[in-house]
Amino acid sequence: MFWADQIANDLKDKGPQLVDDAWTTSGFAHIGSLRGIIIHDTIFRALKNRKINTAYSFILDDFDPMDGLPIYLDAEKYLPFMGMPMRSIPSEVEGKTLADFFADDFIKTMEIVGTNPEILSAYELYKSGQMDEAIRVALDNAPKIREIYKKVSRIDKGDEWYPFNPVCEECGKIGTTRTINWNGKEVGYICEPEMVKWAKGCGHKGKISPFGGTGKMPYRIEWPAKWKVLGITVEGEGKDHSAATGTRDMGNHVAREVFSIEPPYDIPYEFFLFEGKKMSGSKGLGANAKDVAELLPPEITRFMMIRNYKRAIEFNPKGATIPTLFDEYDKAILAYKGETDFPDLAKVAEYSQKEGKPFTGYRPRFIKIAYSIQLPRVDIFKDAETEKGSPLTNEEKHEITIRIAYAEKWLTNFAPEQFKFQVKEAAPEVSLSEDQKRFLENFEKELQTTDWNGQEIHERLHAIKNSFNISPKDAFSAIYMIFLGKDSGPQAGWFISSLDKDFVLKRLREALK
Ligand SMILES: [Zn+2]
């Protein structure tokens, strides 16, 4: 059974479900965060398919401090804001905070891939008073939480630590404050100049009620508090949080031992590696989720993210990742159509759609389209019609147009040399072996009477190659060399058929001189 359907199965008798995901608004969302959104959306859809009363929320952690400077922010301008809540820092856009600015960008990305969770603001949860009771419970249970830190995360917070960080009334920072006491009504705090490396507190000492948005709980306590307050029943996390002694493990203990709830159903999903690097959003090392989402049609992005959440994704747009993804997606569509017997893969195809049902009409391979648009004389639609064997429907034409656009984007920005070629106007200087010459000589003769289509030429080529006992590599590289000036290229029969017959024969004769 497809993993999301399995989860829905596990939860079918457990009442209404709230699927949740969250993200800190400290920079442009990286592509790994998009994986979380899509995985949770898939579970949300699977639960709804089971007719389970389900909602999907997404919390913007906009009350978190700015604890790092993304490379795309002006350091001089933003350094003084380090340690302040993201929601209190102005952006370059008039009237928008940095938190809003980054959130808007990510919400647009969510829409591109067809996810529409209910967006919540962590700050609003605090300000509205919804978190008050959890704050009180956490502060009352400070000794127990210190023990959990020691036991689970091997962190000794000391005996005077409290799970609350007020916003300093003097300097507005939240990343620098430390609560030093709690009397049931107010917390006493210090804004520490040296507590963290990334921000300097002002030294202010104050006393304030911790309720109604005057401060927040640290992330490891806040997460289970949200589970309790909102009634979240399903929430997974990326591998960096799911390791033993990690944030999730800690959250589970706090949920049970402090907030007296069972933690939500867990889905620990794997990393997303971009060009071999682990994503790190706030440091600006990772690829912007929106940029990646725009490289691919939404169904391919979703397909990549959900087909196996336990497997790390290695995404390298400068390699063969993109054409391979399209091919694999096409295989999933075959399964969906029942032409192959892979029921889980069929489900992946179904859940990969931005909306509606998968397109099941005829569509050429992505790589073929990418090759076709590099050839001077090819009518992609006519070619497609020949391959299909009947006229294209309007929907099929539309789908081909979409693939052409993505292929152009890929070729222009990323495609490696092996996928790019240009037919040489003049015969390139090449040195051919005797075997290669004999092979081309016969090919030239055969071509004169061959029907000018890819399949026919392909079959002739193979017949000649076999009769000469020449290796495929030697045979085909001879063809690529004389037309492209390099030793590899697109599928040869089809490639030759895309060229003018007289031109091909002339080039072969020139090469054999
Ligand atoms: Zn301060």
Report the separation in Å between the CA atom of 92 and the middle of ligand 1, taken as the mean of its atom positions: 24
| In a domain? residue 50 | yes
Contacts 24+ apart (CB under 8 A), 135-139: 135/164, 135/210, 135/211, 135/217, 135/225, 136/210, 136/211, 137/258, 137/259, 138/163, 138/164, 138/217, 138/221, 138/225, 138/258, 139/163, 139/164, 139/179, 139/182, 139/187, 139/210
Report the separation in Å between the CA atom of 135 and the middle of ligand 1, taken as the mean of its atom positions: 21
Domain end marker among 175, 191, 216:
216
- Asked if 165 and 215 touch (Cβ cutoff 8 Å), the reply is yes
Q: Count helices and strands (H / E) in the chain.
A: 22, 13
Phi, psi of 246 (to 5 degrees): -90, -170
Is it the case that residue 497 has pLDDT exceeding 90? no
| In a domain? residue 276 | no
Mean pLDDT score across all residues of the chain: 93
pLDDT digits (tens, 9 = 90+) for 161-176: 999 999 999 999 999 9
pLDDT digits (tens, 9 = 90+) for 56-70: 999 999 999 999 998
**Number of domains present in the structure of the chain:** 4
Report the separation in Å between the CA atom of 22 and the middle of ligand 1, taken as the mean of its atom positions: 28
Report pLDDT for 182. 98
Shared-domain flag, residues 489 and 457: yes
Report the separation in Å between the CA atom of 367 and the middle of ligand 1, taken as the mean of its atom positions: 58
Report the separation in Å between the CA atom of 250 and the middle of ligand 1, taken as the mean of its atom positions: 29
Is it the case that residue 509 has pLDDT exceeding 90? yes
Is it the case that residue 292 has pLDDT exceeding 50? yes
Shared-domain flag, residues 225 and 81: yes
Report pLDDT for 280. 46
Is it the case that residue 500 has pLDDT exceeding 90? no
CATH number of the domain bearing residue 484: 1.10.10.350
Report pLDDT for 284. 43
Report the separation in Å between the CA atom of 190 and the middle of ligand 1, taken as the mean of its atom positions: 8
Band of pLDDT at residue 279, cut at 50, 70 and 90: low
pLDDT digits (tens, 9 = 90+) for 404-440: 999 999 999 889 888 888 888 889 999 999 999 999 9
| In a domain? residue 354 | yes
CATH number of the domain bearing residue 324: 1.10.10.770
Shared-domain flag, residues 341 and 390: yes
| In a domain? residue 364 | yes
Shared-domain flag, residues 337 and 224: no
Residues sharing a CB contact under 8 Å with residue 81, sequence separation 6 or more, in sequence order: 66, 89
- Asked if 55 and 118 touch (Cβ cutoff 8 Å), the reply is yes
Structural domain including 179 reads 132-140+151-216
Mean pLDDT to the nearest integer, 233-256: 92
Mean pLDDT to the nearest integer, 363-387: 88
pLDDT digits (tens, 9 = 90+) for 84-94: 999 999 999 99
Is it the case that residue 282 has pLDDT exceeding 70? no
Is it the case that residue 285 has pLDDT exceeding 60? no
Domain end marker among 269, 298, 330:
269
Shared-domain flag, residues 459 and 480: yes
Domain end marker among 173, 192, 216:
216
Shared-domain flag, residues 230 and 210: no
Helix (H, G, I), strand (E, B) or coil at 51: coil
pLDDT digits (tens, 9 = 90+) for 468-488: 889 999 999 999 999 999 988
Is it the case that residue 124 has pLDDT exceeding 80? yes
Shared-domain flag, residues 115 and 7: yes
Shared-domain flag, residues 369 and 496: no
| In a domain? residue 402 | yes
pLDDT digits (tens, 9 = 90+) for 206-231: 999 999 999 999 999 999 999 999 99
Shared-domain flag, residues 386 and 490: no
CA gyration radius, the chain: 30
| In a domain? residue 283 | no
Under the phi-then-psi rule, with left for phi > 0, alpha for psi from -120 to 50, and beta for the rest, what region is 466? alpha
Band of pLDDT at residue 283, cut at 50, 70 and 90: very low
Report pLDDT for 121. 98
ipTM of the complex: 1.00
pLDDT digits (tens, 9 = 90+) for 298-316: 999 999 999 999 999 888 8
Report the separation in Å between the CA atom of 168 and the middle of ligand 1, taken as the mean of its atom positions: 5
Report the separation in Å between the CA atom of 117 and the middle of ligand 1, taken as the mean of its atom positions: 36
Report the separation in Å between the CA atom of 191 and the middle of ligand 1, taken as the mean of its atom positions: 5
| In a domain? residue 291 | no
Report the separation in Å between the CA atom of 144 and the middle of ligand 1, taken as the mean of its atom positions: 28
Report pLDDT for 297. 97
Shared-domain flag, residues 327 and 366: yes
Give the span between the Cα atoms of 237 and 278, in whole angstroms.
15
Report the separation in Å between the CA atom of 213 and the middle of ligand 1, taken as the mean of its atom positions: 17
Band of pLDDT at residue 281, cut at 50, 70 and 90: very low
Report pLDDT for 425. 85
DSSP 88: G
Report the separation in Å between the CA atom of 205 and the middle of ligand 1, taken as the mean of its atom positions: 8
Mean pLDDT to the nearest integer, 442-467: 92
Report the separation in Å between the CA atom of 65 and the middle of ligand 1, taken as the mean of its atom positions: 13
Shared-domain flag, residues 101 and 38: yes
Report pLDDT for 278. 66
Shared-domain flag, residues 59 and 13: yes
| In a domain? residue 258 | yes
Query: Among the listed ranges 39-43, 170-174, 384-388, which one has the minimum average pLDDT value?
Result: 384-388
